[in-house]
Amino acid sequence: MDDFDRRLINRLQHGLPLLANPWQVLAEELQSSAQQLRQRVQELLDDGTLTRFGPMFDIEHFGGAFTLAALSVPEARFDAVAEQLAALPEVAHNYRREHAWNMWFVLACATPQGIDACVARIEALTGLPVLNLPKEETYHVGLHFPL
């Protein structure tokens, strides 16, 4: 990662400007071209430096719902269950934790009822009980990892 990558990632952590051509505005800020910025973001995604680049929506504002959930997956099945979850469009991401509940994931559904249906589908698919931890209160925390 070079200085340009660091400046680009630092800037992107604060979001894109809400304008018709945000990449052009960013290009001017970073003394680059819009094409170079889009290409470099794609390269960083392709090589795994970035794992995700996209908007963050308040799904509840649009009538949807999300929840944090976990599974206790036997080690021998961990990769297979991770693949099953990754194939579900409602699963935003999943990750390993060193705990009895060793696979954590976020579900996002178009309706609150969709959460219960998706949890039931995951339990049927994996044969494992899902620990469902719905949000009780929203906190907005600005998070930035300077590079």
Q: Please check whether residue 119 lies inside any domain of the structure.
A: yes
Contact residues for 11 (Cβ-Cβ < 8 A; gap 6+): 26, 29, 30
Is residue 76 one of the residues assigned to a domain?
Answer: yes
Query: What does the block give as tokens for 72?
Result: 């206790």
Whole-prediction pTM value? 0.67
pLDDT of residue 128: 98
pLDDT digits (tens, 9 = 90+) for 46-81: 999 998 888 877 788 889 999 999 999 999 999 999
**Assigned domain for 143 exists:** no
DSSP string, 28-92: HHHTS-HHHHHHHHHHHHHTTS-S-------GGGGT-EEEEEEE---GGGHHHHHHHHHTSTTEE
Q: Are residues 96 and 103 in contact, defined by beta-carbon separation less than 8 angstroms?
A: yes
Question: Residue 142 above 80 pLDDT?
Answer: no
Domain that includes residue 83, residue range: 59-134
Give yes or no: residues 71 and 112 share one domain: yes
Do you know the residue count of the chain? Answer: 147
User: Are 37 and 65 contained in the same domain?
Assistant: no
Tally the domains of the chain: 2
pLDDT at 141 over 80: no
Residue 93 · residue 105 · CB < 8 Å = yes
The answer to the question of residue 88 being in a domain is: yes
pLDDT digit string, tens, across residues 35-53: 999 999 999 999 999 988 8
